[in-house]
Amino acid sequence: MKRPLVFAHRGGADALPEHTLGAYLRAIDEGADGLECDVRLTRDGHLVCVHDRRLNRTSNGRGLVSTKTLAQLDELNFGSWHPGYPADEELPDLSRLLTLDRLLEALRDRGRPVRLLIETKHPSRYGAEVERKLVETLRRHRLPDERVHVTVMSFAALALRRIRAQAPEVPTVYLLEIPPPGVGRGRLPFGARIAGPGVGLVRLRPTLVPSIKQAGHQVYVWTVNRPADLEMVLEHQVDGVITDRPKFVLERLAEM
């Protein structure tokens, strides 16, 4: 059986603060095939790697990411909230806001090919500007290339259509929490090339992954952290495992 690709969800958020450069670099060093990040637009048009609409959970700030400038966000600490953060040390890579530009620059210097899954977050007050800015950023970094293999993901089918129209060479993943009509028979919305069901959905709908794969699509499942869930998705022969615990998943795969 071909082993699935292992992606560090938000950089491997179980061990270190999510969406920090230190977390991403650690996941690469531990052998992850790829990384997953979420992007949002700041008020002044920068793509930053933050999952939530609000800053409260993962920083010492308050309010909406979309209403702040990059300079305002750069003043915040994005690491000290996490139990894996060594608060007695000065570790800027575990506390500083991560922009997509910084992440892409770091990945190009890692010395081996890395896959990067980029999720555009919607709904957003900036609408289609999120995808336009993302494509512009990839073009500026001359990506994708042989060093950084970029794939774009979204729960919004319209977002994937925009990527397909503006950057047809970039693979796309349609994320699923509740499957819309047709997906159960293996149909994906126009613009999507890979299905991305949540692990809970795979558990509830055991015929979903086989139907999608029979239709000729790849399947990446999120967020696979428990041993039982890993065994389940491996039985389905999924193509990608997105996990907060990349080291755990890699070790289990090495035992098989």
Catalytic positions are: 9, 51
The residue type found at 228 is A
Contacts 24+ apart (CB under 8 A), 208-211: 208/179, 208/183, 208/184, 209/233, 209/236, 209/238, 210/236, 211/184, 211/185, 211/186
pLDDT tens per residue across all 256 residues of the chain: 689 999 999 999 898 999 999 999 999 999 999 999 999 999 999 999 999 999 999 999 999 999 999 999 999 999 989 988 876 556 778 899 999 999 999 998 888 999 999 999 999 999 999 999 999 999 999 998 999 999 999 999 999 999 999 999 999 999 999 877 777 788 898 879 899 999 999 999 999 999 999 999 999 999 999 999 999 999 999 999 999 999 999 999 999 8
What pLDDT score was predicted for residue 89?
Answer: 58
146 CB burial (10 A radius; 0-12, 13-18, 19+): exposed
Instruction: Please give the CATH topology (third level) of the domain spanning 5-255.
Output: TIM Barrel (3.20.20)
Is the CB of residue 66 less than 8 Å from the CB of residue 40?
Answer: yes
Q: What angle do CA 147, 129, 151 make, to 5 degrees?
A: 25
What pLDDT score was predicted for residue 251?
Answer: 97
* DSSP, residue by residue, 63-84: SBGGGS-HHHHHTS-SSTTSTT
What pLDDT score was predicted for residue 99?
Answer: 98
Quick one: CA dihedral 81, 95, 133, 25, positive or negative?
negative
Using CA atoms, how far apart are residues 158 and 115, in angstroms rounded to an integer? 23
Using CA atoms, how far apart are residues 55 and 57, in angstroms rounded to an integer? 6
What value does the CA radius of gyration of the chain take, rounded to a whole number of Å?
A: 18
Instruction: Check whether the bond before 144 is cis (ω within 30° of 0).
Output: yes
Q: Taking the domains of the chain in order of start, what are their residue ranges?
A: 5-255
Is the CB of residue 18 less than 8 Å from the CB of residue 58?
Answer: yes
* Residue among 158, 208, 201, 148 nearest 182 (CA): 208
What pLDDT score was predicted for residue 223?
Answer: 98
